[in-house]
Amino acid sequence: MLAHGYAGFTTRRVATAARMRPGNLSYHFPSKRELLRALIAKLVDDYSKRLAAFLAEPGVPLQQEIQTLVAWLLKDAVADDTVRIFRELWAISLHDAVIRRAVDDFYDEVMRSVAALLQRQLPDVDPAASLEFVQLMAVLSEGTSVLYGTRKDRVVPHHRIVALIHTLLAVIAPEFSERKRV
């Protein structure tokens, strides 16, 4: 899907790339929609693992982990592959209710997963505050993808936006940078 977009995303092309026969692929994924749902499930798994790694390093101060996580999210949001795949998924979801649910479920699952990880590290922080923080990060990340994903040369450079977001988070969510984790 990255190379050819949704229009060029065919089961035959995927089978060829996977070095398998189209019939074998269609046995596991009977439709293009099922193949897309599997792709979205893989994205959930990949993002959940990467995000968990940020909060699993022993001995790293939580503030540094949160800053690294935020920087990674905002860098990933403008990575060519991320921009291409998510813009395609967003466009598809406007016309396909099944894919729309899968994309919405992707965001919900990743946000819930990260909020749970934060909650385990900071059990005295209100769970609602953890979810709000994670959802704010998702909004900032997706907005970054929209504004900087295809045009890197905005009036305010991306690196400056990342610095402003770090400053903003320290002010509005100090509980995620000042507390010691368990």
127-159 pLDDT per residue, tens: 999 999 999 999 999 999 999 999 989 999 999
The mean-pLDDT minimum among 117-121, 124-128, 138-142 falls in 117-121
Q: Report how far Cα 1 is from the mean position of its chain's Cα atoms.
A: 17
User: pLDDT averaged over the chain?
Assistant: 84
69-109 pLDDT per residue, tens: 888 889 999 999 999 989 988 988 999 898 899 899 989 98
pTM of the model: 0.79
Higher per-residue pLDDT: 43 or 64: 43
pLDDT exceeds 70 at position 182: no
